Amino acid sequence: MVSEYSEPADDDASALALKILVAGGFGVGKTTLVGAVSEIRPLRTEEMLSEAGRLVDDTDGVDRKVTTTVAMDFGRITIRSGLSLYLFGTPGQDRFWFLWDELSQGALGAVVLADTRRLEDCFPAVDYFEHRHIPFVVAVNCFVGARTYGALDVSRALDLERGTPVVLCDARDRDSGKEVLVRLVEYAGRMHTARLLDSVS
């Protein structure tokens, strides 16, 4: 599936630009991941956490966090010649979820970032994409000091549908983030191809 964000690059009319969402719970590293991999200066809509917000945002485990995304993050990365990804980081708090439906329009797939210290925070994102049949991978952001779990353990804990990829990553590292995105594009491509074949069989 090619989103409305397809556009020529370097005068190559066959170039593709695909829309990818980066989702997950509050403070899991979505803004960090988009900023780390983006080849352009990322657009950020971060605001300082307010005392009013602290009453509704669960900052347990991320108490040093001082800002939050209130609309979206945006970045772009070229995976290979002729293939670019437009990255849209979603806000993590419940009160901003009304933006998700708009952001998910035309998306090839999504990355659900997970923090094993607050694994339950990514359940809403997993449910969202499963119910809308949007391909996604779970990327476990390996925070310093957090207990390490294998991909199979995380998959079982989240009760993921069979075949949903789980990858370990460091959201601060460009190469690590790029590997997550490559895995997503490959997985989403297989899923869309399988659905197309099912529709014509």
* Strand-pair partners of 95: none
51-74 pLDDT tens trace: 545 555 455 555 554 455 445 899
Which residues of 91-193 form beta strands (DSSP E)? 109-114, 136-141, 166-169
Per-residue pLDDT, 71: 55
Q: Which pair of structure tokens corresponds to residue 124?
A: 């809403």
Per-residue pLDDT, 27: 86
Q: Which pair of structure tokens corresponds to residue 89?
A: 């980081």
Mean pLDDT of 43-48: 62
- Distance CA(75)–CA(88), nearest Å, equals 7
149-183 pLDDT tens trace: 999 999 999 999 999 999 999 999 999 999 999 99
Q: How many residues does the chain have?
A: 201
Q: What end-to-end distance do the CA atoms of the chain give, in Å?
A: 19
Of 38-47, 171-180, 182-191, the poorest mean pLDDT is in: 38-47
Residue 30 region by backbone torsions, left for phi larger than 0, else alpha for psi between -120 and 50, else beta: alpha
